[in-house]
Amino acid sequence: MDYNFYTGELLLIDKPLTWSSFQAVNKIKHAIKQHPSLIVDGQKIKPKVGHAGTLDPLATGLLIVCTGKKTKTINELMGMEKEYTGTFLLGATTPCFDLEKPVDHVFPTEHITIEMIHAAAKVFTGVQQQVPPLFSAVFIDGKRAYEYARAGETAEIKAREIEIKEFEITGINMPTVSFRIVCSKGTYIRSIARDFGIELQSGGHLTSLRRTRIGNFHVNDAVTPQEFSEKLNEINS
């Protein structure tokens, strides 16, 4: 494939577990920096690279990475609907609503039935107000929410409108619930895990998450940062 990273490429990257989105972008930036397309009029151009929607380190899946002039499409890409699969663990909560922090409270789960779980999924389907996690990049008075959280401070995060277009329960092996969710921009699946537990009169947190689709772009067509780097080396050799 003949890439042109200056005029712009839209790369589908499968972000590995524990990698930050920033690390994935840096890996791509390092891989392309010597590419011939970045020499324009005899001058070497610094690669312009960005991604269309952050994935947490403990999430895997589709990260759209844009280069060159294609970075102008990032806002448009970020506005597209997204699909995720993953698992909730019922009966326990964590401060960040996922596995990044240890469990802080435990709750009973004996009363939860399969029917209640499916009914709860229906409750969260549609347009609604969602409060993002304090451990998030949401701005509060000019600071990121996670800055307050890491300092042990509390801060009020305003709810915002989101839409859960599809919420499918794909497996139940108590206390673990597997799901598939199609949602709008700005949706925090971690917050759904928290709210799902509350709806079931228990607790809940996210134990795995994979972004499978953004708009019409699917993770099945993506490669890992390492695979992309190796592929580019083969082309250039």
Note the pLDDT tens digit of each residue in 172-190. 999 999 999 999 999 999 9
Q: How far apart are CA 145 and CA 138, in angstroms?
A: 5
CA angle 54, 72, 157 (to 5 degrees): 40
Q: Taking a C-beta distance cutoff of 8 angstroms, is the pair 48, 71 a contact?
A: yes
| Short-list 60, 100, 123, CA closest to 206 | 100
Main-chain phi, psi angles of 230, to 5 degrees? -65, -40
Note the pLDDT tens digit of each residue in 112-151. 999 999 999 999 999 999 987 766 566 555 666 566 556 5
DSSP string, 72-84: GGHHHHHTS-EEE
Say how many residues make up the chain.
237
Q: Looking at domain 10-79+217-236, does it have CATH number 3.30.2350.10?
A: yes
Q: Taking a C-beta distance cutoff of 8 angstroms, is the pair 211, 84 a contact?
A: yes
Do you find a cis peptide bond into 175, omega within 30 degrees of 0?
yes
Known catalytic residues are: 56
- CATH architecture of structural domain 82-214: 2-Layer Sandwich (3.30)
Note the pLDDT tens digit of each residue in 58-71. 999 999 999 999 99
Q: Taking a C-beta distance cutoff of 8 angstroms, is the pair 114, 106 a contact?
A: no
Residue ranges of domains in the chain: 10-79+217-236, 82-214
Identical fold between 10-79+217-236 and 82-214 = yes
- Which pLDDT does position 141 carry in this prediction? 58
